[in-house]
Amino acid sequence: MKTSVFYGTLAASALLAGAASAQSTLETVQSNGELSCGVSTGLAGFSAPDANGVWQGFDVAVCRAVAAAVLGDPMAVNFVSTTGQTRFSALASGEIDMLARNTTWTFSRDVDLGFTFAGVNYYDGQGFMVNRELGVSSAMELSGATVCIQTGTTTELNLADFFRVNGMDYEPVPIETNAEAQQQYLAGACDVYTKDSSGLAATRASFPEPGNHAILPEIISKEPLGPAVRQGDDQWADIVRWTLNALIAAEELGVTSANIEELAAGTDNPEINRMLGSAGELGAMFGLESDWAVRAISAGGNYGEIFASTIGEQTPIGLARGLNAQWTQGGLLYAPPFR
């Protein structure tokens, strides 16, 4: 039926191939008029389409901020849902321009797989969730347990290491999607569900009776989650990195979506002026307009606002800031200076 799609695209791609390979990611995004952003297939609070098919969530907000900075329109994002297995090849092949899918920044992903992590938007760690009925209070009591695990993630490797180092045995049940894992866990097909503790909280929040389930105190790994881009296009990596930094710095400097209009006109804080473009030419240095940060922050607010509206304590997910507080508040968020 679709003969024409095939040949048409083949012809078009052959014509474009020469031009496309020479284009930088920024030029590609600008000429397409939209940003292709890889997100997860659905994790409440981080990325999930709502009833109208509009993507919402913490990871999604990063995509929207980048789209706003580059294109001026936070809605000009084409969300590509990726599974744990397909996300890296989607990025490597150029199908997506950036990956914002709770992806852990590791040495081998950065170096061997050829990606550049633009920073960390969420400091996480792998935890365990159990049903309170089991009476388990520590991960050290889990010997012999059946553990549900989402396949294709670093959690799989951490889990193997944790149980081996502590001399315990376990029965892994590998599962493809979070929805399926949730179903199996609730049905009692596994005693424990393990994933990043933020994800556990998000999953638990969607349970009929969240109170029956406990997240164990042990955090068995460091999981710095951040947006990733392809290696080799430093300009694009810089754009994503500094968009994220702008969101973080905005919170530190007290720039919010409410007062940004006013502050963008000029303030007596030189760093705010440089960031928001009323002084200096920071935007032009990586090929964007001078108000790029204003647009990025207006898209969904600063880091704190995004956090509060998607996964914060007022939402069903109910995550505390913890490590993800500003450095001034005892957290790890520390944006380099805008200078």
Partner 1 sequence: MSDTHSNTVSYVRDSMLPQQEPPLKDRGAVKWLRENLFSGWLNTVLTLLSILTVWFIIIEIGPWLMNTVWNAGSLRECREILDGTSGACFAVIKDRWHQLMFGFYPPEYYWRPVLAFVLMLVAVAPILFAELPRKMLYFSALFPFVGYHLLWGGSIWLPVAVLLGFVAGYIAFRLLDRMSSLISTLGAVAATLAWWFLLAGPFNAAMTSVLPIGLEFVRSDAFGGFLVSVVIGVSGIALSLPLGILLALGRRSEMIFVKSVCVVFIEFIRGVPLITLLFTASLLLNYFLPPGTSFDLILRVIIMVTLFATAYMAEVIRGGLAALPKGQYEAADALGLDYWKAQRLIIMPQALKISIPGIVNTFIGLFKDTTLVVFIGLLDPIGLSNAIRADTNWNGIYWELFIFIGALFFIFCFSMSRYSQYLERKLKTDHR
Partner 2 sequence: MSSTSDARTPTAAPKAAFRLSMLLYDQRYRSITIQIIFLFALMLGIAWLVDNTINNLRALGKDFSFSFLTAPAGYDINQRPIEYDSQMTHGRAALVGLLNTAILAVMACALATILGVIAGVLRLSNNWIVARLMTVYVELFRNIPTLVWIIIFGAIMTESMPAPSAFRGDDPSASMFLNESVAVTNRGVYIPSIQFANSLGTVNLGVVSPSINWLLVFAVLIAGIYANKAILKNATAVQNATGIRPKTWWKSLAVLLGPVLVLFIVFGAFLEYPELRGFNFADGTHLRNSLIAMWLGLGIYTGAFVAEIVRSGILAISRGQSEAAFALGMQPGKTMRLVILPQALRVIVPPLISQYLNITKNTSLGLAVGYMDLRSTLGGITINQTGRELEGMLLMMLIYLAVSLSISGAMNIYNNRIMLKER
Contact call for residue 3 and partner 1 (CB under 8 A): yes
Sites for partner 2 among residues 161-180 (CB under 8 A): 161, 163-164, 170-176
Q: Shortest CA distance to 21 belongs to which of 233, 227, 241?
A: 233
Structure tokens at 84: 């744990």
Interacting partner of 318 out of partner 2, partner 1, none (Cβ under 5 to 8 A depending on kind): none
Largest CA distance in the chain: 64
Binds partner 1 (CB under 8 A): choice among 26, 35, 37, 41:
41
Angular region, 301: left φ>0, alpha ψ -120 to 50, beta rest: left
In Å, how far are 5, 72, 137, 332 from 211, measured between CA atoms?
52, 43, 15, 29
- The least distance separating partner 2 from the CB of residue 183, rounded to whole angstroms, comes to 7
Binds partner 2 (CB under 8 A): choice among 152, 280, 318, 322:
152
Structure tokens at 236: 């694009």
Instruction: Point out which span in 41-49, 61-69, 110-118, 121-129 binds partner 1 (CB under 8 A).
Output: 41-49
Instruction: Point out which span in 31-39, 156-164, 248-256, 315-323 binds partner 2 (CB under 8 A).
Output: 156-164
Sites for partner 1 among residues 74-133 (CB under 8 A): 78, 80-83, 86, 89-90, 92-95
Q: Which amino acid is at 64?
A: R
Contact call for residue 182 and partner 1 (CB under 8 A): yes
Q: Shortest CA distance to 159 belongs to which of 199, 184, 130, 194?
A: 194
For residues 133 and 261, which CB has a smaller minimum distance to partner 2 in the complex?
133
For residues 206 and 256, which CB has a smaller minimum distance to partner 1 in the complex?
206
> What's the number of CA atoms in the CB half-sphere (13 Å) around residue 209?
6
Binds partner 1 (CB under 8 A): choice among 24, 177, 269, 278:
177
For residues 165 and 187, which CB has a smaller minimum distance to partner 1 in the complex?
187
- The least distance separating partner 1 from the CB of residue 175, rounded to whole angstroms, comes to 11
Interacting partner of 140 out of partner 1, partner 2, none (Cβ under 5 to 8 A depending on kind): none
Q: Shortest CA distance to 68 belongs to which of 321, 329, 299, 315?
A: 299
Q: Shortest CA distance to 99 belongs to which of 111, 112, 114, 107?
A: 114
- 10 Å CB burial of residue 258 (0-12, 13-18, 19+) is exposed
Angular region, 73: left φ>0, alpha ψ -120 to 50, beta rest: beta
Interacting partner of 152 out of partner 2, partner 1, none (Cβ under 5 to 8 A depending on kind): partner 2
Sites for partner 2 among residues 110-139 (CB under 8 A): 112-114, 133-134
Only one residue has tokens 């599962």, namely 175
> What's the number of CA atoms in the CB half-sphere (13 Å) around residue 232?
12
Binds partner 1 (CB under 8 A): choice among 180, 261, 262, 289:
180
Q: What is the DSSP string of 211-236?
A: GGEEE-S---S-EEE--EEETT-HHH
- 263, 272 Cβ separation under 8 angstroms: yes
Q: Which amino acid is at 264?
A: A
Residues found near partner 1 in the complex (CB under 8 A) = 1-9, 11-17, 20-21, 23, 41-42, 44, 48-49, 53, 78, 80-83, 86, 89-90, 92-95, 176-180, 182-183, 186, 206-208, 316
Residues found near partner 2 in the complex (CB under 8 A) = 84-85, 88-89, 92, 108-109, 112-114, 133-134, 142-146, 151-152, 156-157, 159-161, 163-164, 170-176, 183-184, 187-191, 231-232
